[in-house]
Amino acid sequence: MSLQAQQHYMNTQVLTASPGDLTLMLYNGVIKFIKQALVSMEKRDIEEKHFNFVKAQNIIDELQSTLNMSYEVSVNLAQLYDYIRFRLSESNTKMQAGPAQECIQLVTELRDTWMEALKHVKSGTKGTI
């Protein structure tokens, strides 16, 4: 598939996705960019490493900006997003993989929980989330 066709497919996917599915895409994007940053770190490609960490942090910022702070869960998520952003910055500036790997684990847990919640919403069942 050509690059132009891939971009068209992704644009269509984003434009037609539900808000819940968009959040899932954002979580997947964070994970993808952190992994790319780690690969760049191994290759000692400082510019590419920084670029990917910044992309991951920008997505975290976007996720945080959508929180409704009227709910306690949003306050807790905001604190977790702050922590993730801090650890990504630490990994980027100190050239340490550990903080980035921790972030992958945290975001993967968030994504998996979100995915389960979406399944329950789409099926109309109540879960024990």
**Packing angle of the helix pair 19-42, 3-16 (nearest 10 deg):** 140
Indicate the number of domains in the chain. 1
Would you give the DSSP letter of residue 95? T
What integer is the mean pLDDT of 74-90?
Answer: 98
Residue 85 structural domain: 20-123
Rounded to two decimals, the pTM is 0.85
Q: CB within 8 A of 117, min separation 6: which ones?
A: 20, 127, 129
Share of the chain above pLDDT 90, in %: 78
Domain membership flag for residue 53: yes
Confidence of residue 122 (pLDDT cuts 50, 70, 90): confident
Domain membership flag for residue 13: no
> What pLDDT score does 4 carry?
72
| DSSP codes of every residue in 30-93 | HHHHHHHHHHHHHTT-HHHHHHHHHHHHHHHHHHHHT--TTSHHHHHHHHHHHHHHHHHHHHHH
Domain membership flag for residue 36: yes
Instruction: Give pLDDT tens digits for 12-67.
Output: 565 567 889 999 999 999 999 999 999 999 999 999 999 999 999 999 999 999 99
The mean of the pLDDT values for the chain is 90
Nearest to 98 by CA among 114, 26, 106: 106
Domain membership flag for residue 9: no
Confidence of residue 123 (pLDDT cuts 50, 70, 90): confident
Tell me the C-alpha to C-alpha distance, in Å, between residue 32 and each of 48, 51, 85, 125: 13, 13, 15, 30
Query: Residue 42 sits in a domain of what CATH number?
Result: 1.20.120.340
Domain membership flag for residue 75: yes
